[in-house]
A and B are shown apart, each in its own frame.
Chain A
Amino acid sequence: QVQLVQSGAEVRKPGASVKVSCKASGYTFTTSDINWVRQATGQGLEWMGWMNPNSGNTVYAQKFQGRVTMTRNTSISTAYMELSSLRSEDTAVYFCAKMRGAAYSSGWAPWGQGTLVTVSS
């Protein structure tokens, strides 16, 4: 079945970077965009950006421009989200999610299980 499996929890100090992976299986990785969404404790869902695994093209939310980089390794069907200059407010669960269909309006499913990133000195 279609599945996204993310890397494990991370702890970083303020100012550091973190790279979260999202390994896809059950479909052809290059055929569906991958989106990244985060949820800070007690907060709502926040869209961070998306990447086309075929072309490598990316679109980032304005809030994260300059701090986030989304990449992929097609040989191992894995997408990555790297966030730099971390601050305490970046403590959150980070999710990857696959676009369901060809249209940007088709919604996202499935989602990865989430990766907790804790930023603390």
Chain B
Amino acid sequence: QSALTQPASVSGSPGQSLTISCTGTNSDVENYNLVSWYQHQPGKVPKLIIYEANKRPSGASSRFSGSQSGNTASLTISGLQAEDEADYYCCSYGGDITFLYVFGPGTKVTVL
């Protein structure tokens, strides 16, 4: 199972867009569009915001979007709002051989 890397922190002003990357160290991310993203606000339960790299579950804000290119998945937050301040984790599924999952280390988003 690959390790995933994310920037430790990113920041932006209200209304801006920002992007968080999630890079796999081997082919796990590249071969499968199986990356999901979770938002974890302090004191709350993690919330699924993107699955299968670019799909948004019902209830997730349309300001969240996902993409993937090669071994890097990305989460973009558009129209940044104060409520978006949270930790964001990517999670990759290794496919139907390993059946294993791995989280990235998380990215702290600060709204200035």
Q: Within 8 Å of chain A (Cβ to Cβ): is B64?
A: no
Interface 9-residue window, one of B9-17, B20-28, B39-47, B73-81: B39-47
1/0 per position for B45-67, CB-CB distance to A under 8 A? Answer: 11110111000010000000000
B96 at the interface (CB under 8 A from A): yes
Complex Cα spacing A113 to B105, Å? 21
Write the nearest CB–CB distance from A23 to chain B, whole angstroms: 15
Size band of the B side of the interface? 20 to 34
Interface check A109, CB cutoff 8 A: yes
| Chain A interface bracket (under 10, 10 to 19, 20 to 34, 35 or more) | 20 to 34
Chain B residues within an 8 Å CB radius of A47: 91, 100-103
**Shortest Cβ distance from B87 into A: residue:** A44
Chain A min CB distance to B35 (Å)? 8
Q: Which residues of A contact B106 (CB under 8 A)?
A: 44-45
The smallest beta-carbon distance between B101 and chain A, in angstroms, is 5
Which of B38, B46, B99, B105 counts the most chain A CB atoms within 10 A? B46
Quick one: which of A103-121 are within 8 Å of B by CB?
A: 103-114
- Point out the residues of chain B lying under 8 angstroms from A91, CB to CB: none
- Taking CB atoms, residues of chain A closer than 8 Å to B68 are none
A105 touches B36 (CB 8 A): yes
A37 contacts the other chain (Cβ, under 8 Å)?
A: yes
Complex CA distance for A105 and B40, rounded to whole angstroms? 19
* Contact across chains for B99 and A100 when beta carbons are under 8 A apart: no
20 A-B pairs with C-beta separation under 8 A: A35-B101, A44-B103, A44-B105, A47-B91, A47-B101, A61-B101, A62-B1, A95-B45, A104-B34, A105-B33, A105-B36, A105-B52, A105-B93, A106-B52, A107-B36, A108-B38, A109-B47, A109-B48, A111-B45, A111-B46
Give A contacts to B, CB under 8 Å.
Answer: 35, 37, 44-47, 50, 59, 61-62, 95, 97, 100, 103-114
